Structure formats: C-alpha cells, structure tokens
Structure 1
C-alpha cells in the first residue's frame, strides 16, 4: 500500500486538534530513558534521553532505520535487556503510575505477559518448537491467572478463534513448525493478548511476512485493539504502516528521538531533515516523477557517533553549529517537537527547501 493511499485512508480517524490533548494521564510515560552498552565510548548511549508517552486505546509508532535504538528501547521497557552488557543509566518509565525501571526481576516477571505484553518480529525464535501451540498459550494464562489447565486451554482456544486461525481445535495441538509464518504470527498475537494486557508492544510484527499477510495481521491487531482498548507501541521502519495505524509518532535516529507528534503533523509538516528523508524514500501509487530520494550514508556506530547532532554527517543542511552542539527536542507547535537547530525548517532553511 502506497504512502499517499494510507494517509488518505486514515483521515476519518481523528478530529482536528484532538490528538494528544486528552486530560487523562498517559498509561505509559517515558522520560529521559538512556541505555549504554559496556565497551561503548564514554558518554555515548545507544538510547539517549528518549521521552514519549502513550495513552489508553491509542497507538504510538516508533519509526526509524535499523540500528536507531527502537528495539533496545522496547526491550528496556519490558525488562528483557541482558545486564551486562546493557545498562539503563538514566530516565524513568511510569506505567500506570509505577516506574518500570525500579521493579525487581520478580515484579517484572509478574507484569510481563499480564498487564504488559510483547509481539516479536520473528515468531519462530519466540515459540518453543518442543511444545504445542496450546501448551504455550495456556502456560502464560496459568502463570498469571488462578485457573486450571483445562480452563487455560479453553481460553487458548478462544484466543485462536479471535485471531481467526482456521480449525483452531486442531491447531491447539499442532507444533510451531507445522504452521505457516502468518499463522505463527497470529499465535504470537493470541499469546500476547490472552491475559487482556493494558499495553502491547509490537516489534516489527509484519516484517518477515509477505505484503498480503502483512495487511491481514495489521488489520487483526487494530480490530483486537479496538475491542479491548489496549494501548500499543508499534515499532517499524515502514512509513506506510505508520500512516495506517498510528495516533502518535516518534521518529528515532542513532538512539535519539529526533521528531515526535500526532501522525497528521508528522506527515503533513515534517520538521526534521531525517523525517523528510524517510518520507522522500517511500514510493507512492501515483505517476512516477523520477527516482526515489535516498539518505546518503548509514547510521553511525557508537565509536563514530558525532559530537553534536547525530544526523550531521548525512544532513544536507548541517553546518558547524550542528556538528558541535547537540540540539534539544523543541516544541514547534502544540504536541509537535523536533530535534533540529533550524526547525521550523520553512523559516530557517526556506531557501534550501
């Protein structure tokens, strides 16, 4: 699905000016999250001063290239980063008023799979090949609910029906290798939603699937989210997916959030050169006007991280100010922020644009 088409398909979802203005406090509020790996240069964090929030029933999309820190951020929130080598060195992550980063490992285990759940990119590495699908879904239900194994299997069967797996009674007793990639991903969704979590984190849940199955999985997640009121963080590099499902967007580059805001603001008025570059690299359904835009270079490794703005080596507008001084995340319009010395770009870089 092209970017223009997906943008048009979402125009009915939000009333102008309503996104991000609700009085209800966010379900998850992350402030200044920083993660460092052992051996990284002094002062260089792979996730650096990351802040965002997500409200009940809403979807936040975290977007960026591979290596930008999206998955590390999600694993830090879920308490799944191996320590060492990873260490959370700063920040807070308040989930329903409780700081996730101060919990004990037992408290984290009680939370995971219950009030918080995660769907991983590749289900074959997340499902145990030695146990049936029914056993694996029921295990999480028994762990967090005071039910018998028979009751857990009934709930597992119900979840397979909800994610529309054909012949669910038969699939309960199947092993992961006996199912297709799309079916295994549906199992992962069923497993994640079995205990009605308040927050679902989906890390590139459709990347390994063909485009037809991708659309089915995204539609399924959206439908189940609407039915349950679950908040969701969707991690992706696909702007077509973002335009289709997001309420709010956080664009990450080299471990930092470089732009954030309501999805309409990000697509209609991007204010960071990296965001603009991502937009220009997406094909549309219209008549081809020329070659797709590209962003020169690659995301820098930790040992080569620039001193100032981390996008400096790849930015067409950068100068010595950008190279030496890291810009703050500044609010351009209500709820819309950009980490660029020259935002709003149409004012400071109008001639170049």
Structure 2
C-alpha cells in the first residue's frame, strides 16, 4: 500500500499543476543578501494537498501572497525564481492577467475572515461580486450560484445568510463564507492560509473537514499553510517545512512523519500534545525565529539546534535528497549517524 502511494506521488510530481522554483522575496531595508523567502521550491498536482508548516515568521504567508500577486510592492520585491501554473509563470504575468486568474483559476482563503470580508456589504453581495467578475452571467444567475455555494459549505438558513452582514455571523460561519467565495468559480488551485487560526477547536475540525471534502469533490490542488501537525497528518500528501524563509525539509507526508531528518522538524513534532497518558513533558524549541537583521550566516536554525557545530554556524547547508522525494537541509542528515548532540 505504501509503495502504491509512493508511485502515485511520484507520478503526480512529474506533472504538477503548480511548480515553484527558487522563489526569493526581499523586503526593502533588509540587510544585504537576506531574503524573507529564500530559494523556495515545491510542486503540487491536481487533487493533491501540499502542507507548508513552520512557526510564525518563517515565510509561509509571504510565499502564498507572492504566488497570488498580493504582496505590497514596495516594500516587498520578488527577486528570484518562477512559479509555473499550468505552464504559465505567475510571477511574470501582467497585473491585469494576474487579476483575471485570481479568484478564478486560483483562489485563497485568509486567516481572519472578519478582516477579509467587507463589513458594509452583505454576504450575498460579496460572493456574487466575485462570480460576476469572472463569469459572463446575469446578476440573478450569479446570486443563485452564491446561494448554491452557501448550501455547499453547509451554512444553516442560507437564504437568510445571503442578506446578512459579516458582523451578524459567527467566526465559523464567516470562514464558511470565505470558503464559498474562494470556491465559487471552481478554481484549479486553492491556497488556504491558516484558515482556522481564529476559531475554537471544534469549529477548526469542522472547517478543515469541509475544505478537504470540497477538494475531493472538485479535484483541485491545495496548498494548506498551517502550524498544526495534526491537520498535516490528516490531509497532506506532501509536506514542506519552512524555517526563517528557507525550506529545511520536504517530502511525502509518510516520510516526514515516519523519519523526520531535520532537527527543526523533530522539534515541531515533539511539541505536539497527544491523547492518552503523557510520558514526560512536551518538547520545546529554545529561542525564536531570528529577524532579518540578526539572520545567522550559516544554517539559519543553528542558534537553536542541539547538533550545530562551527560548520553549521559558518556555512549554509544544501538541501540534499535522502530518499526519493525526501529532502533535508542539514549537514548531519541522516541524523541516525549523530544520535548525540555535537556541542
């Protein structure tokens, strides 16, 4: 079964819908040579889910906004790489063509629906506007499509909610509205940027299950940005672990969970609570993600890593392939050869 899954993953990777190659983003005023997203590469195929994980400040959201063409310029500038979407480089498209794709072939769900929805327009008007922007249909037909989408995301009394304003809805219902808006034009690629951050645990599970079910029904590709490894284990096909703007590990979800090979990935997994009787305390990773002005010269994780030595401090490690599709950016991978901290 695992071999079949691996072969399918490799086949999909050979024909990705989106292929990001060496994406680099820089903010004005950052120290010379320091990018907030640095040489990031990954791919996602139709019907597949790629999860990007990491702490706040690791560059996950900046990566997503760069792909959607939503980074404010200035201060942000894309200084390298390309993003091939169905053969077209998203990063090289004219603004008008990019806007025509956004909300149509590509769509995004944001972290906080209250700040993403317009408070002075009804839910129905906001969903209908997006449909009319990309489809040559009547306003009545667009309104009917909006109502259909509210039904699909399982909002109770959808006819009533069409006339409601965002502040009249709960956080969970507002996020369902955002999902309805994102999927109204049947995009080929959905980017969901921590879509459950502001919701309580029960509603989080419902929203993730809803997005996953709608994805299976439509066959779209999805990039899910999250810090919740429980969600990753449930929905991901491939995983990208980011730290301080760089990919530190990537590969099929089975490999990442069964054999994590970067100390940062191991630290993230050790910090996840589990059901049942607890054996000792949860693992913590000392320190924080460094700001641009304090970025280490070598491995960006070296100040927090128990394995780091002088080479880690002075030389940035390459992203090396450990097994088919499984890569890690560490001088000491595979870590089985270094069971004890080197310090």
TM-score normalised over the length of structure 1: 0.95
Structural RMSD (CA) = 1.3
Q: Could you tell me whether the CA contact under 8 Å between 1:30 and 1:94 is conserved in 2? A: yes
The residue aligned with 1:272 is 262
Q: Does 1:290 align with 2:261?
A: no
Q: Deviations over 1:294-339 (max 9, x none)?
A: 0000000000000000000000000000011101111000000000
Are residue 76 (structure 1) and residue 66 (structure 2) matched?
Answer: yes
Q: Spell out the pairing of 1:130-145 with structure 2 (5 A cutoff).
A: 130-145=120-135
**Runs of 4+ in structure 1 over 6 Å off:** none
Whole-Å Cα distance in 1 between the matches of residues 102 and 5 of structure 2? 35
Q: CA deviation at 1:14?
A: 8.7
Equivalent residue number for residue 32 of structure 1: 22
Match of 2:322? 332
TM-score (ref. length: structure 2) = 0.97
1:36-90 Cα deviation digits (max 9, x unpaired): 0000000000000000000000000000000000000000000000000000000
1:170 and 2:150 are equivalent in the alignment: no
CA displacement at 1:287 relative to structure 2:
1.3
Q: Secondary structure at the match of 1:282?
A: coil
Residues of 2 paired with 1:15 and 1:247: CA distance?
13
Offset from partner CA, 1:131-156 (integer Å, 9 cap, x none): 01010000010000000110000000
Match of 1:215 among 205, 220, 224: 205
The 2-side partners of 1:303 and 1:249 are apart by: 28
In the alignment, does 2:4 pair up with 1:18?
A: no
In 2, the alpha carbon distance for the partners of 1:144 and 1:46 equals: 33
Query: Residue 262 of structure 1 contacts residue 336 of structure 1 at CA under 8 Å; is this kept in 2?
Result: yes
What is the CA distance between 1:13 and its match in structure 2? 9.6
1:92-131 matched pairs, under 5 angstroms: 92-131=82-121
CA contact (8 A) 1:19 1:247 kept: no
Among 63, 67, 84, the residue aligned to 2:53: 63
CA shift at 1:102, angstroms? 0.3
Who is 1:248 aligned against? 238
The DSSP-based 3-state class of the residue aligned with 1:21 is helix
SS in 2 for 1:143: helix
**Structure 2 residue matching 1:32: 3-state secondary structure:** strand
Unpaired runs of 5+ in structure 2? none
Measured after TM superposition, the shift of residue 352 of structure 1 is 4.2
For residues 184 and 319 of structure 1, what CA distance do their matches in structure 2 show?
48
What is the rounded CA distance, in whole Å, between the counterparts of 1:119 and 1:13 in structure 2? 32
Answer yes or no: is 1:193 the counterpart of 2:205: no
From the superposition, tell whether residues 19 and 295 of structure 1 become closer, same or farther in structure 2 (CA, over 3 Å). farther
